[in-house]
Chain A
Amino acid sequence: MGVPPGRVTSGAWGRALLRLVFVLALPAVLVAVWWAASAGSTNVYWPPLRTVFGVFPDVWTGARLRGDVLPSVLRLAAGYTTAAVAGVALGTVIGSWRRVRALCEPVLEFLRAVPPPVLVPVIMLFAGIGDTMKIAVIASGCVWPVLLNTVEGIRAVDPVLAETARSYGITGVARLRDVVLRSASPQIFAGLRQALSIGIILMVISEMFAASNGLGFTVVQFQRGFAIPDMWTGILLLGLLGFLLSVLFGLAERRVLGWYHGLRESGRRSP
């Protein structure tokens, strides 16, 4: 595309440039098309992109970032962390004993199958409409993918590895940390990734129900007040937040699972 194949370029620079073109070309084209197509738009619901970008700095001022975005993110962090800790702990217990697993499995399958947003009305009964409710909603939805993936991961621990560890006398906390949880960690991270997207959904939903601040609340306020360009900036901001969290998660995962990806790479090179 950018560089015809076969032509000698100045090596690394050429490749980097080509990569940059690949990364940026389509987003640039899409934004340009949106910009051009909406430029003369008189449709109330589809304001020109220029207007949306124009009001963005006015809407998301420092006060609003502190008053709405920060509380949302903090609730998400609290709920997600609670779910991660509880999910891994319970999952380890359930995954380690075959009988416990058989006992719990049908009930867990049912609880997981309940669409998490329907728990918002239930948790509102117990916890009112404060921050506790929102954190509980996020935690109750995020816990299932973590829990079930931990159970699967612990079940799949290589028996040879477990035996070897035993014969070397690795027991107790060391066994749990270095053998069991470590070899289950790729599965646990798969669960954490699923939980992240559920967490964002629940963060927004719980704020749409009953709240006095937060991203979900603000976006719905704009929509009800027919502040359409403002609403669009909210949608864009939610999108950016989702993207940002997913990038952060990817970085954390690469750090923690570096050994695992390395193993797979080398396995692929020398089959």
Chain B
Amino acid sequence: MKGSDAALGAAGCAVFVLLGEAVPRLGLVDEDHFPPADRIAGALGRELSDTAFWSALGDTLTGWALGLAIAVGAGVVAGVVISVVPYLREVTASTIEFLRPIPSVALIPLAVLLYGTELRSVLLLVVYAAFWQVLIQVLYGVRDVDPVAEEAARSYGLGAWARVRHVLWPTALPYVMTGVRLAAAVALILAVTAELVIGAPGLGARIAVAQTSQAVPEMYALIVVTGMLGLLINVGARAVERRALAWHQSVRGEVAV
């Protein structure tokens, strides 16, 4: 069953690439707008042998990783504090609900004014967007704590820190991991967007340059790279999630089936 699914998936990919080759060759779309797959592959090869491409990739990954790390750290700390301190959750609920849907791209003009094309511009957008994903999941996760376990921990005389460490954290971890996975995807989107729009160095800026200089195959090649990067991040985040939650019912159940 598994093997035939993989074969079908591979066939689907092959059909996708063949369509990418055939549609422009047959003249169904303009070759200037959508070059055949082999020309995109050629452009991709040229990119891969260019050191400037690798430094752009490094810049994008730096912005992504730093932003994600800051957002996850801040989201977890804020989420735990809000959940543990009495009344804080009720007081902050309306503010969180208000700030969360604000699109982070609204901050682009501010980022440009404050930091120009520096890394800090990218970080401002990435952290703002990814922070909420983590925070909300932490809040949900902590709400899920079993009141009996909490009471038991209390009656055994565990202090606040020990309760966070042994009761709250293991319950919230699956939610936190979901939040990190969502935040990782959002952080990549915002990192590339910031580079594309603001011009901070990275893959996004390279796409913008390719577009303005009419280097259409290169532009598609770079877009394929960002897609691959997104795919790798998704797969990687899932792997980390499985490893961190190897003890948890949801993952153990998944393996058994």
Contact = CB atoms under 8 A, between A and B. Distances in A.
A111 B227 contact: yes
Interface in B72-106: 87, 90-95, 97-106
Contact of B226 (A103, A114, A126, A216): A114
Interface residues of A, number: 55
Nearest to B222: A118
9 contacts: A26-B91, A113-B185, A115-B188, A118-B192, A201-B104, A204-B105, A209-B197, A228-B113, A242-B106
B16 A107 contact: yes
Interface string A181-212: 00000000000000001001100110011000
A26 B11 contact: no
B12 interface: yes
Interface stretch (B48-56, B167-175, B203-211, B242-250): B203-211
A147 interface: no
B75 to A, nearest CB: 16
B232 to A, nearest CB: 8
B193 A201 contact: yes
A30 B16 contact: no
Contacts of A105: 9, 12
Contact of A118 (B33, B101, B110, B223): B223
Interface of B: 4-5, 8-13, 15-16, 29, 32-34, 87, 90-95, 97-110, 112-114, 185, 188-189, 192-193, 196-197, 204, 207-208, 210-211, 216, 219-220, 222-223, 226-231, 233-234
Contacts of A197: 101, 103
Interface of A: 1, 22-27, 30, 45, 99, 102-107, 109-122, 124-126, 197, 200-201, 204-205, 208-209, 216, 219-220, 222-223, 228, 231, 234-235, 238-239, 242-243, 245-246
Contact of B234 (A103, A113, A121, A228): A113
A230 to B, nearest CB: 10
Given A113-B234, A118-B192, A243 B103 contact: no
A101 to B, nearest CB: 9
B33 A110 contact: no
A112 to B, nearest CB: 8
B230 A22 contact: no
Report whether over half of chain B's contact residues are helix, strand or loop; otherwise say mixed.
helix
A56 to B, nearest CB: 15
A117 B192 contact: yes
Contacts of B231: 109-110, 113
B109 A223 contact: yes
A170 B33 CA distance: 47
B101 A107 contact: no
A105 B33 CA distance: 26
B106 A121 contact: no
Contacts of B90: 22
A114 to B, nearest CB: 4
Given A103-B12, A118-B207, A208 B197 contact: yes
A235 B33 contact: no
B106 A239 contact: yes
A220 B105 CA distance: 11
Nearest to B33: A125
A232 to B, nearest CB: 8
B12 A121 contact: no
B192 to A, nearest CB: 4
A201 B103 contact: yes
Given A23-B94, A201-B104, A231-B113, 17 more contacts: A1-B87, A45-B110, A106-B13, A107-B12, A111-B227, A115-B192, A117-B197, A118-B223, A125-B32, A197-B103, A208-B197, A209-B197, A223-B113, A238-B102, A238-B103, A239-B99, A243-B102
Contacts of B204: 117-118
